[in-house]
Structure formats: structure tokens, C-alpha cells
């Protein structure tokens, strides 16, 4: 219950509805508890002395009570549903906002697939718990207490005789509740596993098909599916045992009431009506106990869900503005790395991904980063928008430590095209405008022209209004990249970061993009990551990254003279290439 209780703040806006719903429930239970008394009255004052008026009157009153109860039940359910639905909506909203506020580091640790489950089925499961609490549990507890009290007030001696019997039932139910709790928790776990398999498979469905692994994936899914089914069956089996067992006990109870009560009736110390009321109270006491057993079992599943929701909620974004952080309006774009170390697991710089990086990018300069895969290029540029925080050293913009700036104001200065292009479903125009929805068509076209995307966009059936499918499925890799570049350019940033953004674009188009960028981004500090050396030839500064260290730095002309490692890359890409080309053409 601890985890569920932690979420109680979400009930606050619905306090009045919740209280009202419970109040209705109290009235309903009160009315329900009156019914056995009425039966007693019919038997003892109506049937036994042969007074038909009392029989009729009481029957009508009972009918009235039942109708009233029905009306109250509708009210109670409506209110409870409203509370639970509102609660779930607010919870989902908060979870979503929370996830949006988290940093890259946080998100690395909470897997995105699981986040979907947490915002959907976990919330539903907790919502279930709220509904049960609001309607069932109150009802069950009150019926139980009420009927016990009324049993004692009807005939305390008989009630005392039944006490051991009821204790036995209670013990049984506690045992069953414990078992059910385990089973339901296991059901939830199997469901999680099923969700995980499904999530992973669906997001990678193309790879599954490409590698003809459908059969394997089918098996994996079937296994999870089967486990889930079996676990559910096991839980239901226990319930199936519980029900008839309770029936037997109930019948035994009824028999003992008639046995002990019958003797009292013979002795004249009890009436038949009282016996009937008694058996009725026993029934009204038993079913709530059964209900409680089930509620306890199900609460366990909700508890597991609540725990996972709280796990997300309790995440503190590891990148937060310092209280004294300033908001920057204008920058020149002078970017300096001062002895920066960085590792993904936080503070320690023992095994850094980036090691003692010193780098100056002057305003308007283009700095190109070369380096083999895994050398830390993406990691390096990810530090500039503070997707991750440096482990040691510092990065400054116009002399101010990035950590002393409000992060939003920093991001407003940066246009970035990530290595992995992500587009959203929607029109081409909206995808380009993603960072600045207020941009007009002209601006969009200018950005698209600079990234050499305009032409192919115009050749799409609906031009800028053409729909992009989820993840940009209906575009080629190079087309996606060019839209992503346009998106970054549209911000007219002071700092432009392109992480391998032309890797899927042919060499000619790439050269055109570079020309256009040079013109459009004269005053912008550009950091460009590239695999191809042809991309970086004209850069103001080229750095070569190797294993997290800068191993060479300078212009192309300098590096080709002084840096063996650069010469090697040059040779391998262009030197040989040229040689081969000449061989083929025979020149």
C-alpha cells in the first residue's frame, strides 16, 4: 500500500466527489442492513400472528428501500468513475510532463519502451485500485462491521456461538488473500514481460523481417504469451476454489444457526424471524470478506504499478538550472572547451569517453570533427546543448560557463541536427518548423533551399503539405537528413551543430549544402561532424578525435603537412579513391 498511498495527492482535486461517493455508499449499506430486520418483522409480526397488513406494508417498504438503493448506486458509481477517471488523467499528464522534463541521462536509465507501459497500463491499474477503494472496500468493510454488530444486537448468545466459526472463515480468507496477492503480482510481472517483448518487436519490426527472424520472434512472443495465460489461469483457479469453499462454509453457518437457533426457538428465547435475520446477516458478512480477499489480491498488482509510476515521478532531472543561472539573450558564439572530461556514468573521469578536451571555436568559424566510430564525436557535441553535463572541466560560451546559463536560453542559441534523424508524423512544413512554429513560409523555403531539400520537397505530390509518416518512414535517409538540417537552420542559431548530417547524402549534394551553409551561416559558429574528409576540407579548423582525445588540430593545409594521422585518413579516403578512379578511366 505504501506506493499507492504516495500517489494520493492526485485524489486531492476530487476530494468532494470522493467523499460524496463514499457517503452515498454508507447510506446504501445502512439501507441494505435494514432489509434482514424487515424480514424479521414480516415473519414475527406478520406471518406468525397472521397479520397480513404488516406483511404488505413491510414488503412495500422493502421495495421502496431497494429502489432507493438502486438510485444511490447509480449516483455512487457515477461519482466514483468520475473520481477515478480524473485521477488517471491527471496522473498520466503529470507522468508525461515529468518525462519531458528529464535529461538524456535520466532517459538512458529509464527505457523508453517501459515508459509507454508506465503511462498507460500502469496508470490504468492504479486507477482500478482507486475505484475499488472508493466503492468496494468501503462497502465491504461497512457491511462486515454492520452485520456483525446487528448479529450481536439480534441475539448475542447465538452470535457468540458463531464466533469461532467466523474466525475460521477470517483465517481462511487471510490465507487466500496472501496467496492471491502473490499470484496477482506474478500476473502483473508476466504482463510486463509480454509488453516488453511486444514493444521491442514492434519497434524493430523491419529488422526482424530483414533477418527473417519472424519465427524466432513468434516463439519468444508465444512463450511470454503462454506464461501470462498460465499465470492468469493459476490465479483464477484459486478463485475458483475459494468460491465453492465459501459457499460450503456459508451453508455450514446457516445450518449451525438453525441448529443452535432452533433450540432457542423451542425454548422460547428466540423467534423464527430472528433466525431468518441472522442467516441473512451471516450472508451479508461473508460476501464482503470474500470481496476483501479479492481486493487485497488485486491491490498487490496495483501496488507494483504504483511503484513503477513512483520510480518515474521520483526521478530528478540530473540537469537543472542553478538558482543563480542567468538568461542569455545575445551571444557572439565563441565556444570554448576547457580541459573537459566526460563519462556517461557521471562524475568519475577514470574511464572517460572524452579526455582533456581543449577546443576554441571562434564566432563564425566552422569547426569540423573527424574521427573513427566510437571516438566520442557525438558525445562531444552533446555537451554543448547540455544534453549531458561535463564530468570535469568546463565549457564556456562568450566566457560564461554553460552551467551558469538558463538552459532554455542556451538552447535558443543552438540549432542541432542529431546523428539519428527523427521526424514526426505531420506535414513537411511542420517538421521543418518544429523548433519555431511561428516561422512563415518564406523562411521555411529559405531553410529548405539551403539544405538542398527544397527541390525534392517540391517534387512530392503536395509539396510542403505532404505528409510525413511516423519516424519519416516514407522518406529516404538522405531526404530525412536534409529536412533535419533545414529544421536546425530555421532557428537561425548562433551555434549550429550537424552530427554526421550529410552521411546519407551524395557527395555532390553535400557540396551544395556546404556552399549554401557557408553563405547562410556566415556569423554562425558551426560544429560539423563528418565521416568523409571531403566534407571538412574547407573548414576553418579541423580536429581529429581518437579514443576521446584530440590528436590533431588545424586547417586542412596544416594538417596534411604535419599530422600523420590526418594524412592517413586523407590517403585512405581520397588518395586511394583518386588513384582508383584514374586507374579505371585510364588517365
Binding site for ligand TTP (CB under 6 A): 344, 353, 371, 373-379, 419
User: Would you state the torsion angle of the CA atoms of residues 82, 84, 90, 94, taken in this order, to the nearest 10 degrees?
Assistant: 180
DSSP 3-state percent helix, strand, coil across the chain (nearest 5): 70, 10, 20
Q: Which is nearer to ligand TTP, 378 or 431 (CB)?
A: 378
Q: Which is nearer to Mg ion, 392 or 419 (CB)?
A: 419
Cβ at position 354, least distance to ligand TTP in Å: 8
Q: Which is nearer to ligand TTP, 88 or 357 (CB)?
A: 357
| Of 181, 177, 190, 182, the residue nearest 121 (C-alpha) | 190
- Judged on CB neighbours under 10 Å (0-12, 13-18, 19+), 496 is buried
Cβ at position 489, least distance to ligand TTP in Å: 21
Cβ at position 450, least distance to ligand TTP in Å: 24
Cβ at position 376, least distance to ligand TTP in Å: 4
Buried b / exposed e over 91-118, threshold 16 CB at 10 Å, is bbebbeebbeebbebbeeebeeebbebb
Cβ at position 375, least distance to Mg ion in Å: 9
Taking only Cα atoms into account, the Rg of the chain, rounded to an integer number of angstroms, comes to 36
Residue 376 binding partner per list ligand TTP, Mg ion, none, with a CB distance cut-off of 5 to 8 Å that depends on partner kind: ligand TTP
Eight-class DSSP state of 319: S
The stretch near Mg ion (CB under 5 A) out of 14-22, 24-32, 150-158, 370-378 is 370-378
Cβ at position 485, least distance to Mg ion in Å: 16
Q: Which is nearer to ligand TTP, 270 or 529 (CB)?
A: 529
Cβ at position 351, least distance to ligand TTP in Å: 10
Residue 298 binding partner per list Mg ion, ligand TTP, none, with a CB distance cut-off of 5 to 8 Å that depends on partner kind: none
CA dist 578 and 584 (Å) reads 10
Residue 51 cell numbers, joined: 397479520
Q: Which is nearer to ligand TTP, 30 or 374 (CB)?
A: 374
Residue 379 binding partner per list Mg ion, ligand TTP, none, with a CB distance cut-off of 5 to 8 Å that depends on partner kind: ligand TTP
Interacting residues with Mg ion between 407 and 466 (CB under 5 A): 419
CA dist 343 and 354 (Å) reads 7
Phi/psi class of residue 430: alpha, beta or left (left: φ > 0; alpha: ψ in -120 to 50)?
A: alpha
Asked whether position 378 contacts Mg ion by CB under 5 A, the answer is yes
Q: Which is nearer to ligand TTP, 51 or 572 (CB)?
A: 572
CB 72 within 8 A of CB 23: no
CA 282 to chain centre: 45
Asked whether position 514 contacts Mg ion by CB under 5 A, the answer is no
Cβ at position 525, least distance to ligand TTP in Å: 20
- Judged on CB neighbours under 10 Å (0-12, 13-18, 19+), 547 is middle
Q: Which is nearer to Mg ion, 114 or 419 (CB)?
A: 419
CA 134 to chain centre: 25
Residue 447 binding partner per list ligand TTP, Mg ion, none, with a CB distance cut-off of 5 to 8 Å that depends on partner kind: none
Q: Which is nearer to Mg ion, 377 or 480 (CB)?
A: 377
Please name the helix (run of DSSP H) or strand (run of DSSP E) that holds residue 431, with its range, or none.
helix 428-432
Q: Which residues bind Mg ion (CB under 5 A)?
A: 377-378, 419
Amino acid at each position: 500500500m505504501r506506493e499507492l498511498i504516495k500517489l494520493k495527492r492526485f485524489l486531492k482535486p476530487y476530494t468532494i466527489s470522493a467523499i460524496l461517493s463514499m457517503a452515498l455508499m454508507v447510506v446504501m449499506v445502512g439501507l441494505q442492513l435494514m432489509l434482514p430486520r424487515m424480514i424479521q418483522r414480516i415473519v414475527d409480526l406478520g406471518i406468525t400472528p397472521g397479520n397480513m397488513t404488516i406483511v404488505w406494508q413491510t414488503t412495500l417498504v422493502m421495495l421502496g428501500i431497494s429502489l432507493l438503493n438502486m438510485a444511490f448506486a447509480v449516483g455512487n458509481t457515477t461519482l466514483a468513475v468520475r473520481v477515478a477517471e480524473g485521477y488517471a488523467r491527471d496522473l498520466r499528464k503529470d507522468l508525461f510532463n515529468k518525462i519531458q522534463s528529464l535529461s538524456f541521462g535520466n532517459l538512458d536509465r529509464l527505457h523508453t519502451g517501459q515508459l509507454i507501459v508506465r503511462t498507460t497500463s500502469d496508470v490504468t491499474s492504479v486507477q482500478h485500485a482507486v475505484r475499488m477503494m472508493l466503492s468496494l472496500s468501503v462497502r465491504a468493510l461497512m457491511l462486515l462491521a454492520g452485520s456483525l454488530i446487528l448479529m450481536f444486537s439480534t441475539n448475542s448468545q447465538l452470535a457468540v456461538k458463531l464466533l469461532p466459526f467466523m474466525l475460521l472463515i477470517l483465517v481462511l480468507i487471510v490465507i487466500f488473500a496472501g496467496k492471491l496477492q502473490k499470484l496477482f503480482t506474478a500476473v502483473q510481472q508476466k504482463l510486463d514481460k509480454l509488453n516488453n517483448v511486444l514493444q521491442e518487436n514492434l519497434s524493430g519490426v523491419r529488422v526482424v523481417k530483414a533477418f527473417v527472424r519472424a519465427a524466432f520472434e513468434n516463439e519468444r512472443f508465444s512463450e511470454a504469451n503462454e506464461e501470462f495465460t498460465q499465470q492468469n489461469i493459476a490465479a483464477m483457479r484459486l478463485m475458483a476454489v475459494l468460491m465453492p469453499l465459501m459457499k460450503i462454509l456459508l451453508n455450514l453457518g446457516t445450518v449451525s444457526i438453525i441448529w443452535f437457533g432452533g433450540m432457542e426457538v423451542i425454548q422460547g428465547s428466540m423467534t423464527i424471524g430472528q433466525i431468518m435475520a441472522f442467516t441473512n446477516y451471516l450472508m451479508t458478512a461473508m460476501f464482503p470478506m470474500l470481496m476483501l480477499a479479492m481486493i487485497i489480491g488485486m491491490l498487490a498488482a496495483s501496488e507494483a504499478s504504483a511503484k513503477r509510476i513512483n520510480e518515474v515521478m521520483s526521478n530528478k532531472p540530473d540537469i537543472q538550472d542553478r538558482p543563480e543561472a542567468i538568461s542569455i539573450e545575445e551571444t557572439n558564439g565563441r565556444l570554448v572547451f576547457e580541459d573537459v572530461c566526460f563519462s556517461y556514468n557521471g562524475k568519475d573521469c577514470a574511464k572517460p569517453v572524452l579526455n582533456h578536451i581543449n577546443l576554441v571555436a571562434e564566432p563564425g568559424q566552422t569547426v569540423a570533427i573527424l574521427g573513427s566510430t566510437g571516438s566520442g564525436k557525438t558525445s562531444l557535441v552533446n555537451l554543448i546543448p547540455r544534453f549531458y553535463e561535463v564530468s570535469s572541466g568546463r565549457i564556456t560560451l562568450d566566457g560564461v560557463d554553460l552551467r551558469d546559463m538558463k538552459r532554455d536560453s542556451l538552447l535558443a542559441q543552438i540549432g542541432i541536427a542529431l546523428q539519428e534523424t527523427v521526424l514526426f508524423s505531420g506535414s513537411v512544413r511542420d517538421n521543418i518548423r518544429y523548433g519555431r512554429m511561428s516561422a512563415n513560409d518564406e523562411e521555411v523555403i529559405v531553410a529548405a533551399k539551403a539544405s538542398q531539400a527544397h527541390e525534392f520537397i517540391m517534387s512530392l505530390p503536395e509539396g510542403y503539405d505532404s505528409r510525413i509518416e511516423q519516424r519519416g518512414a516514407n522518406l529516404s535517409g538522405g531526404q530525412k537528413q536534409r529536412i533535419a538540417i533545414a529544421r536546425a537552420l530555421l532557428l537561425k542559431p548562433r551555434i549550429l551543430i550537424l552530427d554526421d548530417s550529410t552521411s546519407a547524402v551524395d557527395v555532390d549534394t553535400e557540396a551544395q549544402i556546404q556552399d549554401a551553409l557557408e553563405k547562410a551561416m556566415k556569423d554562425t559558429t558551426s560544429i560539423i561532424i563528418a565521416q568523409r574528409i571531403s566534407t571538412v576540407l574547407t573548414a576553418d579548423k579541423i580536429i581529429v578525435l581518437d579514443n576521446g582525445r584530440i590528436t590533431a588540430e588545424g586547417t586542412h593545409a596544416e594538417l596534411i603537412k604535419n599530422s600523420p594521422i590526418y594524412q592517413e585518413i586523407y590517403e585512405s579516403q581520397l588518395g586511394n579513391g583518386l588513384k582508383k578512379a584514374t586507374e579505371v578511366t585510364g588517365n
